[in-house]
Amino acid sequence: MSVTADATSTLERTRSFSWEDPAGLAEAARRLSGVDFIAAIADRTLAPPPFGRMLGLEVTEVEVGRVAFSMQPAEWMYNPMGFVHGGLAATMLDSCMGCAVQTTLDAGIGYTTGDLQVRYVRAMTAATGRVLAEGRVVHRGRRTATAEGRLFVAAGRALLAHATCGCVILAPAA
């Protein structure tokens, strides 16, 4: 079987972005409580992490145990089938849930995702419009935390995906 590309598939596009040195962000995470750290990113006192800048993620809401992000899906995020790659939904959900856990942590305490389960409900494209991801802490213990998240279309709130995660709470280095 031979596959030939049509003329429109050869029109190359370019995307570029810039970011701040993430060392300052890591330092702020060590000295601020989790909720203050995420709030400082939301109000732009602190620059977003490089991956967030690249994806156009914006922290839109922050409170202890809950964080929301928004993003505009774009063509450069497409998989070969013409939809936004599912990894972008997983990234948004992992980020909002992890940050929700972070809002419960004291200064100098970190976390990492231990597991992530994502369930996709419908596909995204650039025409989907702005999407919102909301993460909420379900349980916060001394060593682990769990959270749940939902990703939906901002206009009309149609569900795109939902997820759960487990986070490992990291004590500061001695």
- Give residue limits of the domains in the chain: 22-170
- Whether pLDDT at 3 is above 90: no
- Whether pLDDT at 171 is above 90: no
**Residue 7 half-sphere exposure, CB side, CA atoms within 13 Å?**
0
- Whether pLDDT at 2 is above 90: no
Predicted TM-score (pTM) of the model is 0.91
Contacts of residue 174, defined as CB under 8 A and 6 or more positions apart, other chains included, come to: none
Task: Give the pLDDT of residue 163.
Answer: 98
d(CA 102, CA 113): 11
The class level of CATH for 22-170 reads alpha beta
Task: Give the pLDDT of residue 7.
Answer: 54
For residue 58 the two structure tokens come to 């914006």
The overall average pLDDT reported for the chain is 94
How many helices, marked H, and strands, marked E, lie in the chain? 4, 6
Q: Dump pLDDT digits (tens) for 111-154.
A: 999 999 999 999 999 999 999 999 999 999 999 999 999 999 99
- Whether pLDDT at 87 is above 90: yes
Number of neighbours of residue 59 by Cβ within 10 angstroms: 21
- Measured CA to CA in angstroms, residue 107 lies from 33, 52, 103, 150 at distances of 4, 22, 10, 27
